[in-house]
Structure 1
Amino acid sequence: MSAIAKPEPAPHLRPVVASREPQPVIVKLDQVYKSFGDNQVLKGVSFEVARGEMIAIIGASGSGKSTALRCIDRLETIDSGSIEVAGIRVDDPQVDLHKLRREVGIVFQSYNLFPHLNVLENVMLALRHVKQQDKAEARRVALAALAQVGLDEKANAYPEQLSGGQQQRVAIARSLAMAPKVMLFDEVTSALDPQLTGEVLRVMEDLAANGMTMLLVTHEMNFAKRVADRIIYMHQGRVWEVGPGEMLDHPYTPELQAFLAADL
């Protein structure tokens, strides 16, 4: 394990005006460090997410944002610190991964659909094998999830017959069908053209409006500004600046100013 760097000063935090009753914390990262060999990617990352919050995580490539997301779902193990999600200690070596994955859904840039299964079968798969639902119940739940992303009429289509945006919406439906308490989205629109990106973002906006707890790693600044309850800007493996969408118009730090200027 690499040596732990000296903690940096606290990130720049701004007041967020509460638009609803305070909710309990459902995701908590506390002083999380993660290295790959000699490359220290996370350097004391700490933040909390309340139930029903939509958090957008932004930052340059290599800032640690996707690694932080993958650590929340235990796709990566951390070197030190702690992560708790829905009452589960993710950093516990004895963590029940099946229980964790039932509580946390994650959607990636790549859709990871099985090409030999149709859309309905792709969504039903985890319901049958992880939740042990019978075929009729799994079909009912899967069709409801597909309807939620506007694709119930494509239930019998195969992935190759769908656009990239439709495939990504199927991937979202697959996670939604498991009824997770938290949804993680890792650059889910980065491989899509603007029109298809809009399809996927509308689905995610609906999920946020309906109270799904979401953490979204994204380069879609306008979407983050409009929809996110809070934005976390990561820089060089640290949480650098945190605030509501307005922080993108008036960044405090020169690092965020430079990042936003480069994104224009």
Structure 2
Amino acid sequence: MSDSYMNSDDPIVMLRDVRKSFGSHLVLAGVDMEAHRGEVTAIIGRSGSGKSTALRCIDRLEVVDSGQISVCGRRVDDPNVDLKALRLDVGIVFQSYNLFPHLTIEENIMLAPRAAKGVDKAQARELAQSVLAKVGLSEKAKAYPEQLSGGQQQRVAIARSLAMQPKVMLFDEVTSALDPQLTGEVLKVIEELAAAGMTMVMVTHEMAFARRVADKVVFMHSGRVWEHGDASILTDPQTPELQQFVHSDL
């Protein structure tokens, strides 16, 4: 289903009137959003605007209360969706790296392809070498997570997702725990992925990066998509809320 679907012009990720509450707190109040193949979509907004929740709903880490979500032709809001198949298509990287401390970097990356795809050990090791080269960490294959800086660990987390050969990558504030220098090295990897045509949806507070790399910028406010467009909306915002947000970032 996914491969023939991926050749079409349909959005790879589509949210329609998505609503989500935690208890009595409405977090998503009717979100509409879409991302097309090869696009980088940056989701921006103040803390509590619903950005990360929207991202987590795409991978069904959160179950929506109502509305539709489709990813790579699968209805994510369907209770019977094949979660294993969905997560083979969608990679997600969080601000915490979640690497296994007792495994080497190479072993951390080999784990999912072997467990989820049945890839043999030699092939998994080859795959690990290939994705570590993409994130500039070939020489760290035999190291353990504690021997790496935060920026290097985050790059390993990206490599681990890439090893599953996803069709879409989701990034949730992946640089928020890093200092500026380490942030730069992680963003460089993401920029290279964008240049290679990877479809990405990223929640970010890095405005300069969003201006430079994003094909589409989605500004969320009060649980809704308040304004969206190409990166020019950051230099010419149409709503007072985005004007204020952009101004406060400068």
TM-score bin (small chain): over 0.9
The amino acid that maps onto 2:132 is L
Q: Which residue of structure 2 lines up, in the alignment, with residue 223 of structure 1?
A: 209
> C-alpha distance in 1, partners of 2:183/2:147?
18
Q: Which residue of structure 1 lines up, in the alignment, with residue 11 of structure 2?
A: 25
> C-alpha distance in 1, partners of 2:248/2:96?
25
Give the unaligned 5+ runs of structure 1. 1-21
Q: Which residue of structure 1 lines up, in the alignment, with residue 158 of structure 2?
A: 172
Q: TM-score, normalized by length of structure 2? A: 0.96
> C-alpha distance in 2, partners of 1:28/1:248?
23
Moved over 2 A (4+): none
Q: Which residue of structure 2 lines up, in the alignment, with residue 53 of structure 1?
A: 39
Q: Which residue of structure 1 lines up, in the alignment, with residue 236 of structure 2?
A: 250
1:262 and 2:248 matched: yes
* Structure 1 or 2: more helix by fraction: 2
> C-alpha distance in 1, partners of 2:15/2:128?
32
Query: Deviations 1:42-94 (Å, cap 9, x if unpaired)?
Result: 01101111111000000000000000000000000000001000011111101
Query: Deviations 1:6-64 (Å, cap 9, x if unpaired)?
Result: xxxxxxxxxxxxxxxx9431111010000000000001101111111000000000000
Q: Which residue of structure 1 lines up, in the alignment, with residue 178 of structure 2?
A: 192
Q: Which residue of structure 2 lines up, in the alignment, with residue 151 of structure 1?
A: 137
Where 1:92 maps in the other structure, the secondary structure is: coil
Mapping of residues 24-173 of structure 1, within 5 Å: 24-173=10-159
1:187 deviates by 0.2
Measured on the aligned residues, the alpha-carbon RMSD in Å equals 0.9
Query: Deviations 1:136-190 (Å, cap 9, x if unpaired)?
Result: 1111111101111111110000000000000000000000000000000000000
Where 1:252 maps in the other structure, the secondary structure is: coil
The amino acid that maps onto 1:203 is V
Where 1:25 maps in the other structure, the secondary structure is: coil
Q: TM-score, normalized by length of structure 1? A: 0.91
The amino acid that maps onto 1:129 is A
> C-alpha distance in 1, partners of 2:184/2:223?
29
Where 2:113 maps in the other structure, the secondary structure is: helix
The amino acid that maps onto 1:121 is E
> C-alpha distance in 2, partners of 1:161/1:97?
34
The amino acid that maps onto 2:18 is V
1:23–1:52 CA contact under 8 A, matched in 2: no
Where 2:202 maps in the other structure, the secondary structure is: strand
> C-alpha distance in 2, partners of 1:242/1:261?
17
